[in-house]
Amino acid sequence: MELLSYEFAQRALIGALLIGVLAPLVGIFLVQRRLALLGDGVGHIAITGVGLALLMSWSPLPAALLVAVFGALFIEVLRDRSRVAADVAIAVVFYGGLALGVLLVSLAPGGASTKLNTFLFGSLSTVSMSDLWVLGAMTFLIILGITFWGRQLFVAGLDSEVAMVQRIPVRVLGVVLSVMAAATVVVGMRVVGLLLVSGIMVLPVAAASQFGRSFSSTLGWAVLVGVVCAVGGLLLSFQVDVPPGPSIILGALVVFILAVSWRLVRHLQGARA
Amino acid sequence: MTPQLKARDVSVSLGGATVLKNVSFELSKGEFLAVLGGNGSGKTTLLRALLGLIPISAGHVDIAASEVAYMPQRLPNIGSVPVSVKEFAEAGAVRGVRAGVKPASVQWALETVGMWPLRRRSVDSLSGGQQRLTMFARALVNRAELLMLDEPSAGVDVEHQNEVVSCLQTLKTQNTSIIYVTHELGLIEPLVDKVLVLERSERTSVEYFGALPLPRGIYADVHHHHDDAALSLGSNLGVSHADLSPLLKS
C-alpha cells in the first residue's frame, strides 16, 4: 500500500498495533469481573480531563490520564465499599464525567469543540512521534504489570473470597486493574476515541470467548482478534477514506457476530447428532 | 498442644440480625470436625466468619495453621470468560503475590477427585457434581494444614463421594485438620472426631459440641421430622410404612 510509505500512516499503524494488543489484555480481566462497561465509564470521565486541558491550555494526555485514573478508582471504591452496584457506579461516573467535560469545553477558547471531537472519536492519522513514545511506554508498563500480576488478577477475579483466604491482596489488585483500565482508555483515546475505546477492550474478548475453552486460550485469541481488527480497520479506513476508530470497532463487531454464529451452528449440529 | 483453630464466644450479626451467638469450640491437628445444623442455623456463616470473610461482632478466632484452604458452598460466578478445569484447580495454588504453581500438585488433586481426564473442559460445561469436585480439587492443591469445606459432597454421585471420603481419610492421617459443613453425616461418619451442631437460639447457637454419638434429642429431632415427612408422603403415594422403614433415619 502506497499510503504506508508515509510517516503519518506508519505512526498510525504502530498506534493501532499497540491498542490491538493492549486493550484485550486488560479487557479480559474486566469482562471476567463483569465490568465490561468500566472502559466506557472511564472513557467518559476522561472527557472531563480533556475538557479541563482545553480550558487551561494544558496537554490533554496527562490531564485525561489523571482524571481517568481518579474515575476508575472512584468506581472501584463505590463498588467495593458501598451498597452501590457496579453498573450504577459506572453510570454515575459515565454521566458525571460526560456532563462536566462538555461544560468545561463550552467554557474553553474557540476551536475547543473541534479538538474535543478528535478525542471523542480518535484521530489516528494525527498521532505524533511523541504521542507514540508515551503510548508505547504505557503499553509496556501495563504488559509488565500483567506479566507480574496476571495470575493473581485471574484468581481474584474468579473467586474473590477464596482469593482472600489465600492472602491474595484482592482490594489492591482491584485498584491496580482500575489504573490499568484507565491507562488503556487513554492509550486508546487517540486511536479509536474515548466513546469507542471500550469496544476494542471488550469485543475481541467477547468473540474469543465463543471458541476458547480456557482463560489462557481466550486471552491469546482475544489479542489476535484485537490486533487483526485494529490493523485491518485502519487499513480499510485508508482504502475507503472513513474514520479509523469506527472501522476498527465495526471490524471487531463483525468478528464477534461470526464467532457467535459459528458457536450456534456447532451447537445445532451437536443437538442433531 | 496448641489447637489448630480456637473459637471463643464468636457472635456474628448480619443486617441487624444476630445470626450466630456465643459459638465456642476447638480443633486440634489432624481432627475432623463436622458442622451440622438445619437450614439457616449459621453453618456457612460460621465458616466465613472463621475465615475473616465477614466480621465477627464478638468473640475471638485464633488460627494456628499457616495454610488454610476453603471450599465455598457455591461455584463462583464464572462470568463470560471460560475457565478450564485445570486453570480452576491451579487457582488454589496461588498464594499472596507468589505465583508459583506446582503442576504435580494440580495433577494429584484432580486425579484424586477423578477430574484429571476432564482437565481441558471448561468449568461451565460440567455437571453440578463435577463442578463440586473441581472446587474440592482447588482446595486440595496446596495441601493446606487446615481445610474448611462447605458441603463438598452436595450433588456428587456415590462413587465420587467415596473418592472424596477416601481422600479426606488420607489427609487426616497426614495431620490435616478438617472442618466439614454438612446437613448429614452419611459416608463421612467414620472420619468424624467431633461434631458441632448449630441451632437458632437466643442464648447460644451451639446445640452440641463433642464426640459422636450425638446425645438423644440433639439434631435427631431433624431426622424425626424427615421421617414424619417421608411417612406422610409415602401414605399419600400408597407406600406402606414397612416398605419405607429401611429408608428412615430413626
For residues B60 and B40, give the distance between their C-alpha atoms in angstroms, rounded to a whole number.
22
Across the beta sheet with B58-63, what order do the strands follow?
A: B17-27, B5-14, B58-63
Q: Count the neighbouring beta carbons within 10 Å of the beta carbon of residue B205.
A: 26
Q: Report yes or no on whether pTM surpasses 0.95.
A: no
For residues B106 and B110, give the distance between their C-alpha atoms in angstroms, rounded to a whole number.
6
Q: Considering chain B, what is the average pLDDT of its residues?
A: 85
C-alpha of A251 from chain center: 15
Q: Where does the pLDDT of residue B200 fall: very low under 50, low under 70, confident under 90, or very high at 90 and above?
A: confident
For residues A128 and A61, give the distance between their C-alpha atoms in angstroms, rounded to a whole number.
12
Task: Select from B77, B83, B95 the Cβ nearest to the Cβ of A214.
Answer: B83
Q: Which residues of A touch B92 (CB under 8 A)?
A: 162, 166
Task: Select from A161, A166, A205 the Cβ nearest to the Cβ of B81.
Answer: A205
- Chain A, nearest residue to B52 by Cα: A165
Distance from CA of B141 to the nearest CA of A (A): 12
Give kind and range of the element (H or E) at residue B20.
Answer: strand B17-27
Task: Select from B70, B82, B86 the Cβ nearest to the Cβ of A212.
Answer: B82
Task: Select from A155, A206, A215 the Cβ nearest to the Cβ of B94.
Answer: A155
Per residue in A176-231, pLDDT (tens digit) is 999 999 999 988 888 888 888 999 999 999 999 998 999 999 999 999 999 999 99
Q: Which residues of A touch B179 (CB under 8 A)?
A: none
C-alpha cell at B183: 446437613
Kindly determine whether residue B68 and residue A169, on different chains, have CB atoms separated by under 8 Å.
no
Q: pLDDT at position B220, please?
A: 55
Distance from CA of B232 to the nearest CA of A (A): 41
Kindly determine whether residue A31 and residue B99, on different chains, have CB atoms separated by under 8 Å.
no
- Chain B, nearest residue to A170 by Cα: B96
Instruction: Note whether A161 contacts B: Cβ–Cβ < 8 A.
Output: yes
Q: Where does the pLDDT of residue B63 fall: very low under 50, low under 70, confident under 90, or very high at 90 and above?
A: very high
Q: Which residues, including other chains, have CB under 8 Å from residue A164's CB and lie 6 or more apart?
A: A170, B51, B52, B53
Kindly determine whether residue A32 and residue B68, on different chains, have CB atoms separated by under 8 Å.
no
- Alpha-carbon separation of residue A203 from A81, A197, A248, B72 (angstroms): 29, 10, 11, 32
Partners of B208 in beta bridges: B197
Per residue in A232-255, pLDDT (tens digit) is 999 999 889 888 899 999 999 999
Distance from CA of A89 to the nearest CA of B (A): 19
- Alpha-carbon separation of residue B45 from A164, B15, B49, B55, B65 (angstroms): 16, 13, 6, 10, 20
**Beta strands at B5-14 and B58-63: parallel, antiparallel or unpaired:** antiparallel
Q: Count the neighbouring beta carbons within 10 Å of the beta carbon of residue B211.
A: 9
Do the interacting molecules here have an ipTM over 0.85? yes
Kindly determine whether residue B79 and residue A164, on different chains, have CB atoms separated by under 8 Å.
no
Question: H helices of B58-212, where?
Answer: 85-90, 103-112, 128-140, 158-173
For residues A4 and B245, give the distance between their C-alpha atoms in angstroms, rounded to a whole number.
84
Per residue in B224-250, pLDDT (tens digit) is 444 455 555 555 555 565 565 555 544
Percent helix, percent strand, percent coil in chain B, to nearest 5:
35, 25, 40
